[in-house]
Structure 1
Amino acid sequence: MRLLEKNGFKLIKEKGFIRHYAKRGHPRLIRIHYHGSKEVPTGTYHAILKAAGLE
Structure 2
Amino acid sequence: MYHVHLPKLEQMGLIEPSGNWYDIRRGPRFDEIEPLLRVIDDHRKKLPGDVL
TM-score by length of 1: 0.26
Higher helix share: 2
Structure of larger gyration radius: 2
Higher strand share: 1
